[in-house]
Chain A
Amino acid sequence: MKKLIIYSILGVMLLSVTSCYKADNWDAPSVRVHGRVIDSYTGENLLSSQNDWSIRIWERSWTASEPTNQNLPVKQDGSYNNSKLFAGTYDMLPYGGPFWPVTDTVKNVAFNGTTEQDFTVTPYLQLLDFETRLEGTNLFMSCRLKAPIRTGLPNLVEVKPFLSLTTFCGAGANSNIDIGEYSNKRIQINKSWQDEVGDSETSNVYTIGPLPVKAGYTYYVRLGANVNDANRKYNYTEIVRVDVP
């Protein structure tokens, strides 16, 4: 009797699970789009941070209503990649990053199989001559700012240090060490380029430190600087590995 009950319960449970199974009449999204975001000054990929900003896409082959945008996050190396999209035609726009606004949306890109689409952007700022220096367990970082286009440049906001214990380093990186000892050392400028630097294209050296670091640890560090546009994202230096003896 007991066995019978157990078996019937098992049977019912089995049924209840299998009954959920039904093949979807729509294929899983499988189309890939990828590409690079290129810095117009260097020709290299834009120095970015994981999860700082995105490529916006709008699916135009959907016509039943106005499509809202999807976002493809740009990675630290300045590339983006998404392999789980539905096939169709899309508009694409690099949006909300640390560069002069891109106004020409790339229209009607066909996503079908694998699509490669690169974008070229003009960063607000370049961070030059990045140097790191250790004094015992205090880290110093320095760089100069360069603004090739200064007409209409929003005010400078700040130069900020980023330290991480992984190779991911920057404002959007989860492993960014966000403590007062570091963030309080940022240099807040909040002036126009003219008031802060003058007529020159390149600023004097900004040095940030001392930043207390721990002996025996390996840090990945960089500096970022931003301007007061709507998004206030950072232009970065490259990431440098610092081994604290």
Chain B
Amino acid sequence: MKKRLLAYIALLGTLVFSQCRQLDLEPKGIMGEPELFGTEYGVKMYFTGLYNWLPIEDFQYYANDGYRRNDWATEKNSQGAMSGEYFNTWISVDNDGFGYWPYDRIREVNNFIQSFPNYKDKFPDETFNKLLGEAHFLRAYFYFGMAKRYGGVPIVTEVQNPLAGPEVLNVSRNTEYDTWKFIHDDLQFAIDNMSDDTKETGRANKYVAAALMSRAMLYAGSVAKYTESLGFKATELATQQGLAGMEPSQANEFFEYAVAAGKVVETGPFSLYNKHADKATNFASLFLDASSPETIFVKEYNRNSPRGNALQHNYDALMSPAPDMSSFVGAESFVPLDFMELYDMPAYTNPDGTPVRFDNRGDIRDGMEPRARGTMYLDGDELRGKTFSIQRGIYRTFDGVATDIQRGVNSAPINSNGNRILGGKGWTTEINGVTYTITGAHGNFEDQGGENNAFGSAFIRKYINPDMPTADVRDWRSDQSWVVFRLGEVYLNTAEALYELGQREEAFDYIAKIRERAGAKVVRPAIDMTMTNIGSINKANYTYSLEKSLQFIRDERQRELYAENHWWWDIRRWRTADQILNNFRQRLLSCYYVADEGKYIYLDEDNRFNRQWNASKSCYYEPIPWGEIGKNNNLLPQNPLY
């Protein structure tokens, strides 16, 4: 027995050792450079990982915590919640950001750009150029994600050897001007080399590169023009050295790039979405229709893909009220009056100051701009077989003017002595023998927190998918695509850049197209060159003056792009964030039933929780991540005010 065992061990030993000679083989399960860079399909696989990590602020973006968070609560931490666009969970502006520093991805792109020419003979010229152009598009996108946060960053175009010494690896920052120019050059290369084939959804082509160019160059132009107004130059080394900030004289160059990029997009097969006769439905549908000719580039989601890949989202479950229209936590984002009144609105206060009497709560929708109704759900609108029902309370009698409510405080005489009745969910009250439910079915409840409790009068409609049955509206069940670029935005970019360049009429040609599709009452307002320093939201006092028509273009942007994660970046590049979010206490439009008249009124009130949004001037540049500075002192000086 013992002998046999020994024999076995000896045999096994020989086998093991004899095998060793052949262990030095290329593993079959791992693809190397020839497989990936030598075929078109291989390159596509290589790029897929990069597309996944593009800095796109979509459904999965946490304003203070990064991309692809893969967390069910993303909508509570959205950029709109952080910047006062929604009345929502109170997230404040965190200037420190989340240390976005995607040099790992940039290295992957650089690796491709460096090695791909070795495989040139394996491709027709056109395919080779297309793929090389796509790599430049991807690299520009990552740099855009950093430039808008930090200003100037190190431009790394080579695959660094990790064993090279600190004199090679410790790169310095480039100026902000050079960084934006680098983004321009990469995108210009992409536009010149990529194909105009738009068939492949979710993948870039020359028009996508042009759309990114349009957005990025407008950002750069605004930074150049308005950074001076911040007064950083007196004390801040980073601004003095051109790392954070540019000169006003450099603005026009970038505005011209933005206009040129917009013209490239216009040569493509795109048009404003106009498939439905009803303009409100039309506007809401443009975000959901996969065949929309307005869409230039989407980030796709798929609910059937494996969990954990951040390829599903929770938008419907967290933007619609539970339990009627969502089977999950439910809605917590509402439209403040400040943003509602950017649109055409029906009068809710008479010239004599008294509130207008409405027969039905839903009558507030009459005379409202169709685009506004495509952006939000109001009382009387239907979703998933239920009707929105929103009311804050009851006045026994309302004998006075709207301002008598003193912004809604309990101590106002008209709100005292039981004249104004507020209540919790399902509470009733009896007045002269008649029983009334105090609130609507979807708010505003005094006994509830923020969830499923309509503060103000509107829920978000944009991007909501009405075709999902309520039972299915749960976590990780939504998979509508995020529209990254659409023609509407490019028109607005072009309009703003043109206006900044002094081409006012041409700018309003684009505004008129947008407003016509929106169903606005005045499609083309007259140009007003009066200077003002007062903005629309929060009546902000800007630190510089601008023509009223330029302010109109800025407002048009917000009307069109509300809830599409542009607002924060816009008020940042305009350098108005610290003034707009200066004690920005959102106002809410509240509906009341007037019992002795049997009518409804709408009143302008302060938000009940005294939520206020504030931003300081340090919000315009995030600090270069301190950990990176610890590794590489050449990244100093740090950005302004840190």
Q: Which residues of A line the B interface, CB within 8 A?
A: 65-66, 68, 95-96, 101, 154-155, 157-158, 178-180, 183-184, 186, 188-190, 228-232
Q: Which residues of A contact B229 (CB under 8 A)?
A: 228
Task: Tell me, rounded to whole Å, the shortest Cβ–Cβ distance linking B423 to chain A.
Answer: 24
Task: Tell me, rounded to whole Å, the shortest Cβ–Cβ distance linking B408 to chain A.
Answer: 10
Contacts A65-B633, A66-B636, A230-B232; A155 near B626 (Cβ below 8 A): no
Task: Tell me, rounded to whole Å, the shortest Cβ–Cβ distance linking A170 to chain B.
Answer: 15
The answer to whether B543 and A190 have CB atoms under 8 Å apart is yes
The answer to whether A230 and B612 have CB atoms under 8 Å apart is no
Q: Which residues of B contact A231 (CB under 8 A)?
A: 617, 641
Contact with A along B205-233 (1 / 0, CB 8 A): 00000000000000000000000011110
Task: Tell me, rounded to whole Å, the shortest Cβ–Cβ distance linking B165 to chain A.
Answer: 16
Q: Which residues of B contact A186 (CB under 8 A)?
A: 583
Q: Which residues of B contact A228 (CB under 8 A)?
A: 229, 231, 543
Contacts A65-B633, A180-B407; A154 near B583 (Cβ below 8 A): no
Q: Which residues of A contact B583 (CB under 8 A)?
A: 178, 180, 183-184, 186
The answer to whether B633 and A180 have CB atoms under 8 Å apart is no
The answer to whether A232 and B626 have CB atoms under 8 Å apart is no
The answer to whether A180 and B235 have CB atoms under 8 Å apart is no
Docked Cα-Cα span, A186 to B230, in Å, equals 21
The answer to whether A180 and B606 have CB atoms under 8 Å apart is yes
The answer to whether B541 and A188 have CB atoms under 8 Å apart is yes
The answer to whether B616 and A101 have CB atoms under 8 Å apart is no
Among residues of B, the one whose C-beta sits closest to the C-beta of A182 is B583
Query: Contact check: which of B542, B578, B629 meets A68 at CB < 8 Å?
Result: B629
The answer to whether A230 and B533 have CB atoms under 8 Å apart is no
Q: Which residues of A contact B232 (CB under 8 A)?
A: 230
Among residues of B, the one whose C-beta sits closest to the C-beta of A100 is B234
Q: Which residues of A contact B640 (CB under 8 A)?
A: 230
Contacts A96-B641, A154-B231, A178-B612; A183 near B617 (Cβ below 8 A): no
Docked Cα-Cα span, A177 to B163, in Å, equals 56
Q: Which residues of A contact B543 (CB under 8 A)?
A: 155, 157, 190, 228
Docked Cα-Cα span, A6 to B585, in Å, equals 60
Task: Tell me, rounded to whole Å, the shortest Cβ–Cβ distance linking B80 to chain A.
Answer: 21
Among residues of A, the one whose C-beta sits closest to the C-beta of B234 is A101
Q: Which residues of B contact A190 (CB under 8 A)?
A: 533, 541-543
The answer to whether A232 and B578 have CB atoms under 8 Å apart is yes
Task: Tell me, rounded to whole Å, the shortest Cβ–Cβ distance linking B315 to chain A.
Answer: 31
Q: Which residues of A contact B590 (CB under 8 A)?
A: none
Docked Cα-Cα span, A157 to B229, in Å, equals 13
Docked Cα-Cα span, A155 to B231, in Å, equals 10
The answer to whether B585 and A230 have CB atoms under 8 Å apart is no
Q: Which residues of A contact B234 (CB under 8 A)?
A: 101, 229-230
Q: Which residues of B contact A188 (CB under 8 A)?
A: 541
Q: Which residues of A contact B231 (CB under 8 A)?
A: 154, 228-230
Among residues of B, the one whose C-beta sits closest to the C-beta of A186 is B583
Q: Which residues of A contact B230 (CB under 8 A)?
A: 230
Contacts A155-B543, A232-B616; A66 near B633 (Cβ below 8 A): yes
Docked Cα-Cα span, A230 to B541, in Å, equals 16
Docked Cα-Cα span, A229 to B633, in Å, equals 28
Q: Which residues of B contact A184 (CB under 8 A)?
A: 583, 585
Contacts A179-B610, A180-B606, A190-B542; A230 near B641 (Cβ below 8 A): yes
Q: Which residues of B contact A232 (CB under 8 A)?
A: 578, 616-617
Q: Which residues of A contact B610 (CB under 8 A)?
A: 179-180
The answer to whether A230 and B638 have CB atoms under 8 Å apart is no
Q: What are 15 inter-chain pairs, A to B, with CB distance below 8 A?
A: A95-B235, A157-B543, A158-B541, A178-B583, A180-B583, A180-B610, A180-B612, A183-B585, A190-B541, A228-B543, A229-B235, A230-B234, A230-B640, A232-B616, A232-B617
Task: Tell me, rounded to whole Å, the shortest Cβ–Cβ distance linking A233 to chain B.
Answer: 10
Within 8 A of A (CB), among B94-136: none
Query: Contact check: which of B236, B626, B629, B630 meets A230 at CB < 8 Å?
Result: B236
Among residues of A, the one whose C-beta sits closest to the C-beta of B629 is A68
The answer to whether A230 and B606 have CB atoms under 8 Å apart is no
Docked Cα-Cα span, A146 to B638, in Å, equals 34
Among residues of B, the one whose C-beta sits closest to the C-beta of A65 is B633
Docked Cα-Cα span, A66 to B612, in Å, equals 39
Q: Which residues of B contact A179 (CB under 8 A)?
A: 610
Contacts A65-B633, A232-B617; A180 near B236 (Cβ below 8 A): no
Docked Cα-Cα span, A37 to B641, in Å, equals 20
Docked Cα-Cα span, A229 to B533, in Å, equals 17
Contact with A along B613-641 (1 / 0, CB 8 A): 00011000000001001100100101011
With most chain A CB atoms within 10 A of its CB, the pick from B232, B236, B542, B543 is B543
The answer to whether B641 and A180 have CB atoms under 8 Å apart is no
Task: Tell me, rounded to whole Å, the shortest Cβ–Cβ distance linking B641 to chain A.
Answer: 6
Q: Which residues of B contact A96 (CB under 8 A)?
A: 641
In the complex, besides A180-B583, A186-B583, 16 extra interface pairs with C-beta distance below 8 angstroms are: A66-B633, A155-B543, A158-B541, A179-B610, A180-B407, A180-B610, A184-B585, A188-B541, A190-B541, A228-B229, A229-B235, A230-B235, A230-B617, A230-B641, A231-B617, A232-B616
